[in-house]
Structure 1
Amino acid sequence: MKKTVLVGMSGGVDSTVTAILLQKEGYEVTGVYMKLHENEGYHEANFEKVKRVGAYLGIEVHFYDLSEAFKHEVYDYFVETYKEGLTPNPCVMCNRTIKFGKMIEFADRLGIDKVATGHYLNCDGQFFSAGKDHAKDQSYFVAQVKKEVLPRLIFPLGNWVKEDVKAFAKEIPPLKDIGEQKESSEICFVENEYTEILERHMNIDQEGETLNAQGEVVGKHKGYMHYTIGKRRGFSVHGAHDPHYVKAIKPETNQIVVGTRDQL
């Protein structure tokens, strides 16, 4: 019986090469493009690339609308976490609930055994480990994936480096442009700055007090949601000669606490 695998395909070079490599290994490959958000024009362009790769490989590709689940599991978590003065990691949440949650369920409905993506990491069925390309290693972002799904996961790019992946795609004339395209954004639904997302839901521009480690008011800031721990710009510290960094955020009073590097 032929081995079957569902590949999460984005229209990017990593998932494209993943599908090609798995087909070369003898897998019966099926592709799925997951719509995760409502950014206008984004999905239409990417799914056209996925269909082109599907046609080249002679494989079936699906368009799977997960925007409602993504909003509930990832987007709302992203907004609420910043509201609480914390820094979210939407990719960790997405990998647990969507890519290796909902995509596993979709594979089950199609009767497909394995699931693969273009992540740069390795998995032996029990544990994740770092990929060969340390600059692109994504093993951290799967830290919360449910352990029971690990035996079903395949990551063909675990032993590749990004430049070789791009070079591989460029050697295939119909897919050369995919190998040459720019990197996608780190957070798929954030086009420029994360604050642009928050502005859709609340007023983030509310001036507040900057405090030192002793709780004394030493300056002003433009609204606590503009800051994450370690940030060193965008607030004032009167009379400071050394760089100051955000070391705590107090959302309930719209205050930030700052200190010098040795106070972090």
Structure 2
Amino acid sequence: MRLLAAMSGGVDSAVAAALAVDAGHDVTGVHLALSPDRQTLRSGARGCCSVEDAHDARRVADELGIPFYVWDLADRFREDVVDDFVAEYAAGRTPNPCLRCNEKIKFTAVLDRARALGFDAVVTGHHARLADGELRRSVDAAKDQSYVLGVLTPEQLAAAMFPLGGMTKDRVREIAAGRGFAVATKADSHDICFIPDGDTRGFLARKLGSRPGPVVDAATGETVGEHEGTYGFTVGQRRGLGVSVGDQQPRYVLGIEPVTRTVTIGTADLAGVGEISTAAATWTAAVPELPFRAQVQLRAHGAAVPCMVTASGGGGLVIRLDEAQRGIAAGQSAVLYAPDPEQGDLVLGQATVETTREREEAVRP
């Protein structure tokens, strides 16, 4: 097969490209330039996509003896990922930019261009498995990235290859070291790639400016503090609220209202969510017959919980959780997995959270 290997400059994509070459495929490497000023992303940054990352990717390609190119997708990335991220926070929602990047950049923009150039598939270093066209969790649970791939369609998955899904991260580094790759000991990227210093609140403040408003305690309705912008908060947040309440009980963000610029906080007993309504769902395989039992994962590194999934209007879903969960915010992705233990690593699809509702008792249909 003629394959395009997306090479970020990290150890995962380097080994994925190497395994594709070892399998006898005709491989070409490509590094995505996603920042308009990559010189600002220096060595040691916790993100990715710096000039140094491009150099690391090129060195691996040279060692593999494969062609290598840099594709400038900075404008597309800004529009589809960065601007979306800022707009979502401005609207009081909590987006996942990695999921959006996979959906809009790596498996739309890159895949479309790859197909136009005659490539059969795109190879990436994601820790997830494809088995008979079905998306499944990685064998390395700590590194599993199936959550941020849950937005992909069957057509996109048919043109994707994830060679690392059947091995642990330690094994990936062993392979890289055995081949003499300099990236074998390179640290994993963390946080958001376009916010390399990790200061999300500062980044949003620079983009959106000061938008002060009240912090209100749900129990009393009293204003207990002020903030400089609702974008500095997310539902479920406990630390960094900047308020002090007399009873000294921990407070969590319960709601964000961007029009009135109100952040509502409350105690743990008010923070539980038992029912979620979503936007239209996307499915990684055939559309399942509703209603159905499933497991749902609500954060990239969260645990999946049992639930019942039913239909709502416009292709959306209602997801009733067996046990109430905290910190579920509009804008997050609810990724659904098969319900039974033997097939629990199978990804069914995903939908974006629109609204949440409290439930006083666990639900077991």
User: Do the two structures share a fold, i.e. TM-score over 0.5?
Assistant: yes
AA matched with 1:226: G
Corresponding residue number in structure 2 for 1:181: 186
1:207 CA displacement: 4.2
Provide the rounded CA distance (Å) in 2 between the counterparts of 1:262 and 1:130.
33
| Shift in CA distance, 19/70, structure 1 to aligned 2, threshold 3 Å | same
Provide the rounded CA distance (Å) in 1 between the counterparts of 2:98 and 2:244.
34
Corresponding residue number in structure 2 for 1:76: 83
Corresponding residue number in structure 2 for 1:143: 150
Q: Map Cα deviations across residues 154-176 of structure 1 (whole Å, 9 max, x no partner).
A: 10010111121112212223x1x
Corresponding residue number in structure 2 for 1:197: 203
Query: Contact 1:220–1:236 at 8 Å: present in 2 too?
Result: yes
Q: Map Cα deviations across residues 171-228 of structure 1 (whole Å, 9 max, x no partner).
A: 223x1x3011111123211112112321232224x44322122461241142321111
SS at match of 2:87: helix
Structure that is richer in helix per residue: 1
Corresponding residue number in structure 2 for 1:33: 31
Corresponding residue number in structure 1 for 2:100: 93
Q: Map Cα deviations across residues 135-158 of structure 1 (whole Å, 9 max, x no partner).
A: 111111012123312111110010
Give the superposed CA RMSD. 1.6
Query: What are the equivalent positions in structure 2 for 1:147-158 lying under 5 Å apart?
Result: 147-158=154-165
Aligned with residue 215 of structure 2, among 210, 226, 240 = 210
SS at match of 2:71: strand
Aligned with residue 239 of structure 1, among 246, 257, 263 = 246
Query: Contact 1:210–1:258 at 8 Å: present in 2 too?
Result: yes
1:263 CA displacement: 0.9
Aligned with residue 230 of structure 1, among 229, 236, 259 = 236
Aligned with residue 8 of structure 2, among 7, 10, 13 = 10
| Shift in CA distance, 211/194, structure 1 to aligned 2, threshold 3 Å | same
Query: Contact 2:115–2:121 at 8 Å: present in 1 too?
Result: no
Provide the rounded CA distance (Å) in 2 between the counterparts of 1:132 and 1:117.
16
Provide the rounded CA distance (Å) in 2 between the counterparts of 1:107 and 1:170.
30
1:50 CA displacement: 1.4
Aligned with residue 54 of structure 1, among 38, 42, 61 = 61
Query: Contact 2:215–2:227 at 8 Å: present in 1 too?
Result: no
Corresponding residue number in structure 1 for 2:329: none
Deviates more, 1:75-84 or 1:109-118: 109-118
Provide the rounded CA distance (Å) in 1 between the counterparts of 2:172 and 2:127.
11
Moved over 3 A (4+): none
1:71 CA displacement: 0.9
Query: Contact 1:207–1:220 at 8 Å: present in 2 too?
Result: no
- The share of aligned pairs that are identical, in percent, is 34
1:241 CA displacement: 2.0
Structure 2, gaps ≥5 residues long = 42-49, 272-365
AA matched with 1:250: E
Q: Map Cα deviations across residues 7-45 of structure 1 (whole Å, 9 max, x no partner).
A: 100110000000111111111111111111234324321
SS at match of 1:62: strand
- TM-score, normalised by the number of residues in structure 2: 0.68
Provide the rounded CA distance (Å) in 2 between the counterparts of 1:37 and 1:106.
19
AA matched with 2:149: V
- TM-score, normalised by the number of residues in structure 1: 0.92
Residue 45 (str. 1) matches residue 52 (str. 2) = yes
